[in-house]
Structure 1
Amino acid sequence: MDKKEPLQRLLDYLDEDMTLCNRVIMDRMQSSVELVSQLAAHLIVAGGKRLRPLLTLASARLCGYEYSPDDVMPRHVRLATCIEFLHTATLLHDDVVDESLLRRGAESANVVFGNAASVLGGDFLFSRAFQIMTEDGSLEVMRIISQASATIAEGELLQMTIQNDLSTSIVRYYEVIYGKTAALFAASCRVGAIVAERSLKEEEALEAYGLNLGMAFQLVDDALDYSANQEELGKTVGDDFREGKITYPILIAYQQADAEEKKFWERVIEACDQNEDDLKHALFLIHKHQALEATLQEAMNFANKACDAIRFFPEGELHSLFEDIARYTVNRHF
């Protein structure tokens, strides 16, 4: 039995496609402006899971997409590159907004190059993504990806509006993580089916898979901010707490809190009045009320929905990998 993690097995399965995609990513990141190329090099060296473009490549393959070996940029590779550029652009902007110090275990671009360069570098990547979409020429692809791009911005803005607000409902929180994360996962999967020219049923099934996978992914991200090892996670642990972000573990811990605990949460989250011992006490309360376990259980519920969405696709190695990736998302440590 293969002992490799599902993500590595998916990378191995799509090795040729992903190698070509990485080549296109590097090529399309180049610019006559030296600072843009430096930013691009910084991001490439930092690496990353490349999960979203992988989902586009995998979805196309699941739908039976084939391309000529002579094609230097097949459609699924072109659109996977577009997806990666959109995602990376949002990371550059997010790190500026969040004043992040680390990204993927290294200094974030805003620390190395400054906020202005990071914002403009993100703008460059957004523009490149839309250039690539135009080259592809599909109005349906443009509609789906441009809608996802707009939804991401709405999700980030919605997150700002609920920040420090402990009266936020779980439903409202789900709207945030759908916008900031799940929408691009959904688009990544759906365009794979479009490239393969499959039925609307298959498009919508893969979109549902991506949406539910994205919801699970963000729930786990929110749990890791209170549970992970900083070196494993690749970014500063406890950032969400220090910024007063409203996430699932906080909402559960607050809902289960007694009067004294509620006062603590209101001070550190709503008033942002924190001292150096508060994160430790927050972790104690989160563990006391099993908020992380509740978060991971909710993530697994979404992962199971993702698997259910693609049940009717033919059984096989790639189909199994889709299911394994969904469950791996919940059990990852970074």
Structure 2
Amino acid sequence: MQTAAEAQTQFARTDSIEPLVGLVAGDMKAVNELIIERTGSDVTLIPEVAAHLIDSGGKRLRPMLTLACAQMFGYRGDGHVKLAASVEFMHTATLLHDDVVDESELRRGKAAARMVWGNEASVLVGDFLLGQAFRMMVEVASLPALEVLSRAAAVIAEGEVMQLKTAHELETSEARYMAVIEAKTAALFASAAEVGAIVAGKGEAEREALRTYGHELGLAFQLIDDALDYSGVQAELGKRVGDDFRDGKITLPVLIAYWKGDDDEKSFWRTAMREGNQTDRDLSRAIDLMARHGALEETVARANAHGATAQEALMRLPETPHREALLDVVGFCVNRRF
């Protein structure tokens, strides 16, 4: 049987994000400057908390998608910079809120903001960033872009609530699990890509192609995240291996191992995921059961399938350096180790 790593490396194309980084470097500099400007406040706690997470080393893939998708069609204004910054603020706000809900201790290898400033400050600064995101959307004066991103904000919140309702529930269906990650992760990826086409003045065909690309890329990205929680390296993940397990999060690798397990294995999963006080021995057994039933390999295979769909959607668009770089991003997301 293949390992998860072997399954990943079979994905077509390169796994480099560098072509994308190079193409959007100038505009990303403007985005970063705008982020610093818009996190400024006389309330000193706001820039402190925001900077703690914003400066912690994230790749800022989502705003780069917005920039690349606008550049792809020759856009020459600055609206894409504000929309990209809005996307990053939405993502950052979600992380701040997620860490409170999940009681996370680490984020990107650093203490989560809630561990430094408390839950209340994390939630309120997240709300501030959402407010700033919407201010920038309004400044762009594109009602279609505002509609797409505001809808994404609502969908992301719905995903958080859905995840709360499915927490610790091993009878969750795959359809329900996929609905959660579509809302929590894929919605923002899809919107980040689509608004690039919108600000460039493109029509429904281009918007739909990029919306599909972002949606499928987001699903692949999240599925790999779910697999890495049981197979990654802490120093590279920026969080402890097994955090999803400790939090009782019902992810696809857990569901596959549970569905395929015998009665004794199902009993283990029910006890481990509902009590929330597992030992390292419990985590080791969970990983062993996933290996026995090929749960990580199957999860990676699903990610590959969504990645292939993302690439197919891009192929509807004219060949440009930006299209090729976005194709390579799929390989990066599927083959990444962290």
* TM-score class, shorter: over 0.9
Deviates more, 1:40-49 or 1:100-109: 40-49
Partner of 1:48: 58
Please, which of 128, 131, 136 is the counterpart of residue 132 of structure 2? 128
- Say whether the 8 Å CA contact 1:267–1:273 is kept in structure 2: no
In structure 2, C-alpha distance between the alignment counterparts of 1:81 and 1:182, rounded to whole Å: 18
Residue 123 of structure 2: aligned partner = 119
| 1:73-97 deviation digits (Å, cap 9, x = unpaired) | x000010000000110010010111
The yes-or-no answer on 1:31 pairing with 2:41 is yes
Identical residues among aligned pairs (%): 50
The alignment status of 1:96 with 2:104, answered yes or no, reads: no
1:170-181 matches, within 5 Å, as 170-181=174-185
* Equivalent residue in structure 2 for 1:15, among 12, 19, 25: 25
Name the counterpart of 2:257.
253
CA distance in 2, matches of 1:272, 1:97: 15
TM-score (norm 1): 0.95
Structure 1 residue 317: Cα displacement? 2.2
Partner of 2:10: none
Q: Which string of whole-angstrom CA distances, capped at 9 and with x for unpartnered residues, describes residues 51-92 of structure 1?
A: 11000001111222123xxxxxx0000100000001100100
1:324 equivalent in structure 2: 328
Residue of 166, 170, 180 corresponding to 1:166: 170
- Show CA shifts across 1:185-237 (max 9, x none): 00001100001101111001100000000000110111111111011001122
Contiguous gaps of at least 5 residues in structure 1 = 68-73
Give the secondary-structure state (helix, strand or coil) at the position aligned to 1:46: coil
Task: Measure how far apart 1:276 and its partner are.
Answer: 3.7
Q: 1:254 deviation in Å?
A: 0.8
Instruction: Quote the Cα distance in structure 2 between the aligned partners of 1:275 and 1:333.
Output: 25
Query: Any conservation in 1 of the 2:168–2:273 contact (CA below 8 Å)?
Result: yes
Q: Contact 2:80–2:196 (CA<8 Å) still a contact in 1? A: yes
Q: RCO greater where, 1 or 2, for CA within 8 Å and sep 6 or more?
A: 2
Deviation at 1:5, TM superposition (A): 5.5
**How far apart are the structure 2 equivalents of 1:275 and 1:239?**
12
Superposition misfits of 4+ residues, deviation over 2 angstroms: 270-276
Matched residue SS, 2:17: helix
Task: Specify every segment of 5 or more residues in structure 2 that has no aligned partner in the other structure, as ranges.
Answer: 1-13
Which amino acid letter does the alignment assign opposite residue 15 of structure 1? A
Q: Of 75, 85, 93, which aligns to 1:81? A: 85
Task: Report SS of the residue matched to 1:314.
Answer: coil
Q: Name which of 60, 67, 79 aligns with 2:70.
A: 60
The TM-score, its normalising length taken from structure 2, stands at 0.93
Q: 1:66 and 1:84, CA in 2 relative to 1: closer, same or farther beyond 3 A?
A: same
Output aligned runs, 1:177-188, within 5 Å: 177-188=181-192
Q: Which residue is 1:278 aligned to? A: 282
Q: Whole-Å Cα distance in 2 between the matches of residues 187 and 77 of structure 1?
A: 15
Determine the structure 2 residue equivalent to 1:148: 152
Q: Separation in 2 of the partners of 1:45 and 1:317?
A: 29
Backbone CA RMSD of aligned residues: 1.3
2:234 corresponds to 1:230: yes
Distance in structure 1 (CA, Å) of the matches to 2:67 and 2:214:
13
Q: 1:50 corresponds to which letter in structure 2?
A: R
In the aligned structure 2, how far is the partner of 1:23 from the partner of 1:7? Answer: 22
Following the alignment from structure 1 to structure 2, what is the Cα–Cα distance between the partners of residues 289 and 179?
28
Partners in 2 of 1:40 and 1:173 — Cα distance?
30
**2:334 equivalent to 1:297:** no
Moved more, 310-319 or 187-196: 310-319
